[in-house]
Chains A and B, each alone.
Chain A
Amino acid sequence: MAPVISIRGLSKTYASGLQALKPLDLDIERGEIFALLGPNGAGKTTMISIVCGLVTPSAGTVTVDGHDILRDYRQVRRKIGLVPQELHTDQFESVFATTMFSRGLFGCPRDPSYVEKVLRDLSLWDKRGAKIRELSGGMKRRVMIAKALAHEPEVLFLDEPTAGVDVELRRDMWELVRRLRERGVTIILTTHYIEEAEEMADRVGVINRGELILAEEKNALMAKLGKKELTLQLAEPLAAIPPELSEWNLALNQDGHELQYIFDAKADRTGIPSLLARLRDHGIAFKDLNTRQSSLEDIFVSLVSDRRGE
């Protein structure tokens, strides 16, 4: 199936001379949840803002469902919903009125029953008559999502949806995103909570200093770059790693109380059985052991710091 969003050679240099995006290619598949990861100022918001029409690109093209974002802006924007990072709301409007306003703005006829459904989905129906300024921060964030969904978009951009949101609301938000995906909505979210990408995304893109470092299936990425780590709590501390164990990639931590072995999780031979056998042969006893798979966060940090070193 053709990608729903196709970005080619997109770059942006602001008037200040800041190059926020270096020429970038990216396809977003229909119906997927794509998480865009990157440190602050990496270019995530710039990319989203270009696709949504808030920022003019310096070069390159973006098509949404085959429509160019500049030439066919009406068709493109009709399909897109945007929830920006900051809480921008009309303080004096009611929840219902502001949601209906958004629907009208995007060219949809008034449909109170659809707006009701959106508000119920977001647990906002009880607050429909409340002025936005009376709501808590979490509720305001929901209102912004309701506004973005009011015109039944096919693609939803969530820019840092859970920044400054409590744990419970974050879980609700993830649940909502999954429900939207089930309905066929494509979701692109930016985050710097790696946990969030790991929890929800089908694919992950990492952006740093305006450059898309990679865009891959989350599981493939974790398998490809994932390292496993075996930690042995030793019965007696070691002063140094015995030369007999030099063929393994070992490290001694915690004043010699802990032996750490980093290995490639996808290799056929992990080297663990032979390592344990060798330890027994040399009378090195251990009290406990555990293995840990590196998280997306570790992968992310190593990717970003690798690039910094260049």
Chain B
Amino acid sequence: MNFNAQGVWAIYRFEMHRFMRTLWTGLAVPVITTSLYFIVFGAAIGSRMTEIGGVPYGSFIVPGLMMLSMFTESIFNASFGIHMPRFTGTIYELLSAPLSPLEIVLGYVGAAATKSITVALVILATANLFVDVTIAHPLPMILFLVLIAATFCLFGFIIGIWAKGFEQLQVIPLLIVTPLTFLGGAFYSIDMLPEPWRTATLFNPVVYLISGFRWTFFGTSDVGVWISLTATFGFFLLCLVIVGWIFRTGYRLKS
């Protein structure tokens, strides 16, 4: 037995079952939030905005909205998923099971990524009710979606292990990720910024994620798509290395 597929599947099912218990709120929240964004940014403000790079403002914000929800959903679901067993003590079972770190991560991150991708697609469908959304490069779009979901779920997994309590789970998403997303061009093109803010923005990693994802919709982007892909992949690898270190040292898992 070199790969405990049953174990991965058990974790995945357990986590999905947890999401199913709150299915309606889990799906109603992104639908309502997206609708609110479209009423405010699309109908109220968007009508006074000019097109950005030939794209109507309402359509322009769709990839950014999807990313914003993906980031928070991924971090929240993955961090909660691994923090809960630590909090209740049921993690003893996970640690005593014949599971490799990779299998544990596959189960938890796989389930959390499934949920955040679902939420992103629900947002896309909701947005489609308000504005026209065309996807120029569907396959790269799926690739970006999966890679970003996996990356942020890994990031959430790390936070879930690092956090000493539930309030700490919220700190990183609220104080770092949400501001970076708003400042990362979720609702505007960074070309619209005056210097020096435009250059400063290039140090915000979220810019590369949103820009690359937006390219898959409209074929235009703030930064080159390969730079975006490299940055996204680099962030993914960084999270992977940290998770590897956590399991090797037993950080906050084993004494």
Q: Which residues of A are interface residues toward B (Cβ below 8 A)?
A: 14-15, 52-56, 73-78, 80, 82, 84, 86, 88-93, 97, 100-110, 147
Contact = CB atoms under 8 A, between A and B. Distances in A.
B95 A78 contact: no
B9 interface: yes
Given A74-B4, A86-B89, A106 B98 contact: yes
B50 interface: no
Nearest to A55: B255
Contacts of B4: 74, 107
Interface in B12-49: 13-14, 17-18, 21
Contacts of B100: 74
Contacts of B99: 105
Most B CB contacts (10 A, CB to CB) among A15, A88, A90, A104 go to A104
Given A104-B10, A105-B10, A89 B98 contact: no
B105 to A, nearest CB: 14
Nearest to B250: A56
Nearest to B4: A107
Interface of B: 1, 4, 6-7, 9-11, 13-14, 17-18, 21, 88-90, 92-100, 250, 254-255
A-B CB proximity, top 8 nearest = A104-B10, A88-B89, A77-B98, A74-B98, A105-B97, A52-B96, A107-B4, A88-B90
Contact of A77 (B18, B92, B97): B97
22 contacts: A14-B255, A52-B92, A52-B96, A53-B96, A54-B92, A54-B95, A54-B96, A77-B96, A77-B98, A82-B92, A82-B96, A84-B92, A88-B89, A90-B14, A103-B10, A104-B6, A104-B13, A105-B93, A105-B99, A106-B7, A106-B98, A107-B98
A84 B89 CA distance: 10
Nearest to B11: A105
Contacts, number: 84
Most A CB contacts (10 A, CB to CB) among B9, B11, B88, B96 go to B96
Contacts of A89: 88, 90
B17 to A, nearest CB: 7
Contacts of B21: 92
Contact of A97 (B11, B17, B89, B96): B17
Nearest to B17: A97
B79 to A, nearest CB: 17
B6 A108 contact: yes
B90 to A, nearest CB: 5
A80 B96 contact: yes
B7 A107 contact: yes
B83 to A, nearest CB: 14
A88 B88 CA distance: 6
